[in-house]
Structure formats: C-alpha cells, structure tokens
Amino acid sequence: MPRHKNYLPQGVIPAALLPFHEDLSIDADSFRSHLRDLASVEGISAITINAHASEVASCSFDEQKLVLELTQDEIGTRVPIVNGVYAEGSLEAVRIAKMAHDGGASAILVFPSGVYTFGQRPEMAVEHFKRIAEVTDLPLILFQYPLAGGQGYPLATLLKIVEAVPAVRAIKDWSANPQLHERQIRVLQSRTPPVAVLTTHSAWLLSSLVLGCHGLLSGSGSVIAELQAQLFRAVQANDLVTARKLNDRIWPTAEVFYTEPWVDMHNRMKEALVLLGRLPRAVVRPPLMKLSAAEIERIRLALVAAGLLAGKGQAKKVV
C-alpha cells in the first residue's frame, strides 16, 4: 500500500465526509469524488478519514476498512491519509490501528474512550496509547476533548502520555478553552521533538491560529478547505489584514455549521456540499436526521455570504 513515509502531522488537514445512498449504504462513487475535490485544494497537507466528519460512530469495522481502501485507491499516492481510531476499548482500538497501518495510512488519529466519562486515571490513558503504539510505528495524533465531559486529558496526563509514548507527535485540540489551548500550544510545541497542536476550534479559527498552532484538522475543511488553507498561509506570514478578510468569509459558515445542536455539524456540511453541487444528496445515518428546510436555507444564505455560492444558488469558485 502507498504510504507517505516520514510524514509528520501539521498544516491544513480537512476531515472528509462520508456520503450514503438513500438505503444508508456507503456511496463509493460520491465519496471518491469528494476525496478528489479535497485532494485538489492547494495547501492541504493530508486528509482525515474514519473520524467524526465521516460518521465513524455509525460505521462497522469492515466499513471503516472499506473507507480506507477507497481512499487509498483514489488519492493514496497524492496525499497522506490520517485514519481515525474510534473505539471504547483498547483492544478494539488496537485492531483498528493495525488495520490502518496495514492499509497504508500515514498517521493515526486516536479518539478518547467513552469509558472516561465515568472518570480516568493517567495510567489508563498511557496504557491505551502504549498498546496502540505496539502495533504501528505511524505518528499518533491525540484527540483532546473538553475536560468538562470527562474525555479530555488534563495537561499533567497529556504530558505523561507524550513522555511515555514518543509516537504521539500531535494533538487535535478541541479543549474548547482558550486559556488551556494556548497553554498546550506553548508547552507541547516547545518540547524536543515538538508535539504539534492542530486546532479544531473551527468556530473561532482565526483566534486559535494566531496563538501559534502548527496546523488545523477540521470537518469544516470538507466544505471550506481552500479558505482554511489561505487563512493558515496568511497567519503563518503574519499577514493579519489578509487573515481578517478571509476570516470574514469563513465566519458565516462557522456560525451556521457550529450552532446548537452540535451533533448536526457534519449533517449541515453535507447539505452545504449538496447546495454547492459537490454531493448528490445529504443522507445521514440515524440517530442523525434530515435537517429542516428552514435550516438548509440558513446554510444556503451562509454560503452566499461566504462568497461560495451565488445568490440564485449557482456554485461560485472560491478566490
């Protein structure tokens, strides 16, 4: 399997959506088209699959394997692939990680276990990552959740993990706490070797990036990867004027994608791609449900405000 050797997670990494047919089966042709769209965006550094954006919670192990196979076949030689490991228990996490390694992924995104909602001990988290690192030498990306829900790792635990498991080379930071976010950036990226902080605070992306993140990994990149890449370049160049102009275009999409209930964020992104003519339908698997016509109209207006869609609903190229 093709693999991008020595890949280190950084830069702009969109998380792909997963299209379904009306019967809820995977629409492989539409998925391939979606992957080609993302891979063609100048400035992206990788593409993430089998994560929140692709409704991984509703996908079986065999379906996750199929998603990786389709991705490898379509874009594997062009773009590094980050494969998610979404599992409650460490044994299943290990099985998925080995599948990702054998299937040619270039990095692995490790979700926290839902078991942690009942409490966690640092040694539990360390052991979870150690077991995964035993079956792969790929760089690991730790998914940092908000601490309030119990699945986030306190900074002391986070440091124990990266010290005990050198394969952890980045975190996808969704701490949802600006003070903790900046502290993690300063502490982790000053290490030797550095542990990159990839923001997923898409609702306040500009504010997050100017703190010094080494990249971003976000489901909204399934829709606005080009704008994200331009924004990241502008921030890296300290061009705040350009960055603020780009953020003014991104802001309407963030407002409509990341409104409550948050569970529908990727549902909304599918509807956006339908409006843009990039997906044939916006089918989601239950318990997610079809959005109302009123909400779809709000998404359309946001795309117009972002300059991605003409007022009459005709797709407009991002500039």
Q: What is the pLDDT of residues 269-299, one digit of tens each?
A: 999 999 999 999 999 999 999 999 999 999 9
User: pLDDT at position 317, please?
Assistant: 45
Task: Give the Cα-Cα-Cα angle 160, 194, 170 (nearest 5 degrees).
Answer: 70
Q: What is the pLDDT of residues 57-116, one digit of tens each?
A: 999 999 999 999 999 999 999 999 999 999 999 999 999 999 999 999 999 999 999 999
Mean pLDDT, residues 109-129 taken together: 95
* Calpha distance 257→41 (Å, rounded): 21
Does residue 218 come out as left (phi exceeding 0), alpha (psi in the -120 to 50 range) or beta? beta
Residue 318 in this model has a pLDDT that exceeds 60: no
User: 32-47 b/e with 16+ CB inside 10 Å = b?
Assistant: bbbbebbbebeebbbb
Computed over every residue of the chain, the mean pLDDT equals: 95
Cβ neighbours of residue 274 closer than 8 Å, sequence gap 6 or more: 280, 281, 282
Cα-atom radius of gyration of the chain, to the nearest Å? Answer: 18
* Calpha distance 70→66 (Å, rounded): 6
Residue 312 in this model has a pLDDT that exceeds 80: no
Going from N- to C-terminal start, the domains of the chain cover 11-237
CATH class of 11-237: alpha beta
* Calpha distance 182→162 (Å, rounded): 18
**What H or E segment, with its residue span, contains residue 47?**
strand 47-49
Mean pLDDT, residues 226-254 taken together: 98
* Calpha distance 136→3 (Å, rounded): 13
